[in-house]
Amino acid sequence: MEILALSKVTQANGEMTLPGSKSISNRALLLAALSEGQTHLRGLLQSDDVHYMKEALTVLGIMINTLSDTECILTGNANGFPNKDAELFLGNAGTAFRSLTAATALNKGHYVLKGIPRMHERPIKDLVSALHEMGLSINYLENEGYPPLEIFSADIVSDTVSVKGSVSSQFLTALLLSIPMTQKAMTIKIDGELISKPYITITLSMLKDFGIVVENRNWESFYIPAHQEYQSPKDYYVEGDASSASYFAALGAIGGEIKMHGIGTKTIQGDVEFLRALEMMGAIVEWDEHQVIVKKPKSGLKGINLDCNHIPDAAMTLAILALFAEGKTTLRNIGSWRVKETDRIHAMATELKKLGADVVEGEDFIEVSPVEKLNENISIATYDDHRMAMCFSLCSFLVPIIIEDPQCVNKTFPKYFTIFNQLVCE
């Protein structure tokens, strides 16, 4: 197994341009594929997850002319995917797997969707149950409630469907993105609390960009009117990834000053609220429409107690920043961590404890208190989870550290460690 040894560093200064948002990239690819004509997509994230989505759409018969790592011209088809019989391999790309499950189920064909072993451990029952309720035909090929899936041609038999909102917002996003394919009216009712609402805001905003109007009825239900068609905006720009911004914002907060291009006050991603959490901890944040500067506070960071339902991915970075703060940090309402690329609550607690940190792990929370000195040269397991690797790189501001399997960052940010090393110094 490859490892990366990070020396202890003391400063971080400079500026960088964020890679494109993974959430927006994969939504834009699917929406463009369902729109008649060509869409010029710019600023796409270069990563494994986006690669799997592009590869799957190509297998489904969508023409994609790749102009560069971050730019392509996609020729969509308003009648759905031309290929009615296909097998798709989607790695561990949750956004691609969930959205294509719904889209292929509504395409009246025969499909098999598979991924890596961890993808086959990530629950999808709530989405499949909703599709079953609509009359669609989907079988589990291995374990009940989990991928891989086999999908058969079937007709919709209902104009109302319910989906649980407490496990993953990606299930609702998958339905919202795909149901307009049918041109039928549909009401989606939310069963229980809807988590990660900012990600649904992204979905609704992008649907509007592609000509689809959805009525959000107080987050309790969503109404999709009939006879709508996806309309290509012709040119679509993917903004910088706000989740990836959390690591570099943290660099500024603990190491000096970092300017980030690609996010700001105009950002539609909910994870930009991570910067508000940084401000709560005492960091200095200077906002512009499309760039942000984060500076280390003279008085140091302070621990916080925060409901992180709205920033589940970026909240992982707060767990690491707790090591640099005065007082305890409690991150609540993060149960969705347990069904991500790994069980992130357990993984985070396990690796922080290896460093010697004071950690309490709960079913849907984590508490981290700083200690006087951490253990040095500890080898951090990353669990094939890109965010574990990027988060723990920040610990090199306290002690030398070893990151196992650093290439796992390829899922969303292949150049992460290159940029990290350019911004820090000993």
Binding residues for 3-phosphoshikimate: 22-23, 27, 168-170, 196, 313, 340
Asked if 88 and 148 touch (Cβ cutoff 8 Å), the reply is no
Tokens for 420, please give them.
Answer: 């990290």
Active-site residue, from 48, 49, 313, 405: 313
How far does the chain reach from its first CA to its final CA, in angstroms?
27
313 catalytic, yes or no?
yes
Residues annotated within a binding site for phosphoenolpyruvate: 22, 94, 122, 170, 344, 387, 411
CB 169 within 8 Å of CB 200: yes
**Residues in Cβ contact with 340 at an 8 Å cutoff, skipping those fewer than 6 apart:** 94, 122, 312, 313, 385, 387
**Distance separating alpha carbons of residues 206 and 24, to the nearest angstrom:** 8
Residues making up the binding site = 22-23, 27, 94, 122, 168-170, 196, 313, 340, 344, 387, 411
Pairing outcome for strands 63-68 and 365-369: unpaired
Q: Is the peptide bond before 148 cis (omega within 30 degrees of 0)?
A: yes
Secondary structure element (H or E) that encloses residue 184, with its range: none
Q: How far apart are CA 224 and CA 227, in angstroms?
A: 10
Distance CA 70, CA 25 (A): 10
Q: Which residues contact 308 (CB under 8 A, 6 or more apart)?
A: 315, 318, 331, 332, 333, 334
Alpha carbon distance 264, 280 (integer Å): 18
Check: CB of residue 359 under 8 Å from CB of residue 391.
Answer: no
Q: Is residue 381 a contact partner of residue 375, using CB atoms and an 8 Å limit?
A: no
Closest CA to 374 of 392, 362, 391, 387: 392
Residues assigned a catalytic role? 313
